[in-house]
Amino acid sequence: MAWSSQGGVQLGGLFLSLLGWVCSCATTVLPQWKTLNLELNEMETWLMGLWEVCVTQEEAATVCQSFDSFLSLPQELQVSRILMVVSQGLGLLGLLLSGFGSECFQFHGIQRVLKRRLCLLGGTIEATASATTLFPVSWVAHATVRDFWDDSIPEIVPRWELGDALFLGWAAGTFLALGGLLLISSACVGKEVPWPWMADPRLPPACAPGEKSDDSFHLTPRPKTLVI
């Protein structure tokens, strides 16, 4: 099957959306949202995520402990946990709708206009998933930087720093945004050209010869037996 330029744009949007969704799931699970290095023990590193806090030692295994209470978490972590779960649901829903609306999914019962609307809706949902990913990641990063440079905290108190999961979350939000924009543009720019199996059966096919008229001019080949 030869794909059109619109199908290529849809495929690129689906790939970026899938990549962003996978990165968003990894960001939600990873504990490296905040990192803390103790000056008294440089071989020990503390990690804080949305679900647990971990202690990593160079000569020992990593030990993690889940948070006892959701309400005891800081406000940015509470909101981030909710929004990241919502982002995963929206990202998966957008992938399903966009997949059904793309050219690579061919089903006889789905009309062309309906497929474009599914692709447009899926792209919009992917863009929404991007916002629900970038907002909590940026909020946690802002709170971490604010606490790090807070002059009211004594210098002797250890301070949290930005973790690797935050950068992965920014990448996930960027991929989701680009994928959603590609899906939306493919649905808005594409032309309304009916597919062969969805054409009106009352209309003659494009490759069918036209009706012959009485005054039509025809050229007939010369017989081989004709002698001049």
The domain limits of the chain are 5-31+73-192
The least confident of 38-42, 144-148, 180-184 is 38-42
DSSP code, position 203: S
| 40-95: pLDDT as tens digits | 666 788 899 999 999 887 777 788 889 988 888 889 999 999 999 999 999 999 99
How large is the average pLDDT for residues 118-137?
Answer: 94
Residue 35 phi, psi (nearest 5): -125, 150
For residues 19 and 26, is the Cβ–Cβ distance under 8 A? no
What is the DSSP track for 139-169? HHHHHHHHHHT-TTS-TTS---EE-HHHHHH
H/E element, 65: strand 63-66
- Fill in the amino acid letter for 117: R
Measured distance between the N- and C-terminal CA atoms of the chain, rounded to whole angstroms: 52
Check residue 213 and give its pLDDT. 45
| 194-213: pLDDT as tens digits | 434 344 445 444 334 444 44
Q: Is 212 helix (H, G, I), strand (E, B) or coil?
A: coil
Task: Output the CATH code of domain 5-31+73-192.
Answer: 1.20.140.150
Tell which wins on pLDDT, 16 or 200.
16
1: pLDDT confidence band, cut at 50, 70 and 90? Answer: very low
Cα(195)–Cα(16) distance, rounded to whole angstroms?
Answer: 27
